[in-house]
Amino acid sequence: MDYELIVPYIPNLRRYARALVGDRDGADDLVQDTLERAVRKFHLWRPGDLRAWLFSIMHNVFVNQLKSRKISSDQEVDDTFAAPVPGATRADVLDLQRALGTLAPEQREVVLLVALEDMSYADVSRALGIPMGTVMSRLSRGRERLRRVMNGEVAQQRSGLKVVQ
């Protein structure tokens, strides 16, 4: 099989994994598991959108990893954006990686696929196996939450000062 076809996408997979998982080793583990699975299942791929196929495999591996490590639930996000960033300082709030970590994994996936891979709603829907409507709502919630975290609106130690414009 022509695994070489997958190779050009490895940097994309690594970039996405890094943003999704946060740390380098964890991200590369995710990529590694994804590649092994992709190679095993390559005979199932029919010429079409290889990128979406690879990202859908990464999604499945990611979900399995979350389950087996039981990471997810403490990062579950409520819709009121009331959940504070645990122990965040002002500087931390500005840290994009940490801010992304405050998103629920399923929101983070959608926000990152759109931002990093320029995926359309349809692409994301295919890659994650969820309906377009779900893509849209996760995207808007995820973006909004990320915006508020980055602006320090959700930080625990919120500054009382307002920026004078």
Partner 1 sequence: MSADPLRDDYADQTAQIKQFFEPVMTEPIPERMHLRQPAWIAHAKAAILVGIGIAIGLMVSMVAPLSSDPSLATAQLPLRAARAHVVYASEVRHPVEVDATQQEHLVKWLSKRLGIDLKVPVLAREGFELLGGRLLPGNEGPVAQFMYQDQSGKRLTLYVTRPHKGDALTAFRFAQEGPVSVFYWMDSECGYALSGELERPALAKVATAVYRQLEN
Please give the residue ranges that form the binding site for partner 1 (CB under 8 A): 1-12, 14-15, 18-19, 28, 31-32, 35, 39, 47, 96-97, 100, 111-112, 114-116, 143-144, 146-147, 150
Sequence letter at residue 39: V
Compare residues 67 and 137 and give the one whose CB is closer to partner 1.
Answer: 137
Two tokens at 33?
Answer: 């598991």
Two tokens at 75?
Answer: 């990062």
What is the rounded end-to-end Cα distance, in angstroms, of the chain?
A: 60
Q: Whats the size of the chain, residue-wise?
A: 165
| 87 DSSP 8-state letter | T
CB of 58 to partner 1, least distance (A): 13
Compare residues 1 and 70 and give the one whose CB is closer to partner 1.
Answer: 1
CB of 30 to partner 1, least distance (A): 11
Compare residues 128 and 150 and give the one whose CB is closer to partner 1.
Answer: 150
The helix, strand and coil proportions of the chain, stated in percent and rounded to the nearest 5, come to: 70, 0, 30
CB of 28 to partner 1, least distance (A): 6
Q: Residue 96: helix, strand or coil by DSSP?
A: helix
CB of 86 to partner 1, least distance (A): 21
